[in-house]
A and B are shown apart, each in its own frame.
Chain A
Amino acid sequence: MSAIQIIFWFLSALAIVSALMVLISKNPVHSVLWLIMVFFAISGHYILLNAQFLAIVNLIVYAGAIMVLFLFVIMLMNLNNESEPQKNVWMRLAGAVSGGCLLMILVSLVRQAIEINNKVAEMKVGDIGLIGNLGKALFKDYLVPFEISSVLFLSAMVGAIVIGKKN
Chain B
Amino acid sequence: MPIQYYIILSLALFCIGIVGVLVRRNVIIVFMCIELMLNAVNLLLVAFSKMHHGIAYLTDKTTTTGSDAQLFVFFIMVVAAAEVSVGLAIIVMMYRNTHSVDVNFLNRLKN
Interface residues of A (CB under 8 A from B): 4-5, 8, 12, 15-16, 19-20, 22-23, 28, 31-32, 35, 38-39, 42, 45-46, 49-51, 53-54, 57-58, 61-62, 65-66, 69-70, 73-74, 76-77, 79, 83-87, 91-92, 94-96, 98-100, 102-103, 106-107, 110-111, 116, 118-123, 126, 128-129, 133-134, 137-138, 141-142, 145, 149, 152-153, 155-157, 159-161, 163-164, 166
Contact = CB atoms under 8 A, between A and B. Distances in A.
B4 A110 contact: yes
Contacts of A32: 32
Given A19-B13, A28-B28, A28-B29, A138 B71 contact: yes
Interface string B56-87: 01000000111110110111011111111110
Given A85-B25, A152-B78, A152-B79, A4 B64 contact: no
Where chain B touches its partner, the secondary structure class is helix
A120 B28 contact: no
Interface residues of B, number: 75
Main secondary structure on A side of the interface with B: helix
Interface of B: 1-9, 11-13, 15-20, 22-26, 28-29, 31-33, 35-36, 39, 42-43, 46-51, 53-55, 57, 64-68, 70-71, 73-75, 77-86, 88-93, 95-96, 100-102, 104
B91 A106 contact: no
A66 B18 CA distance: 20
Nearest to A142: B71
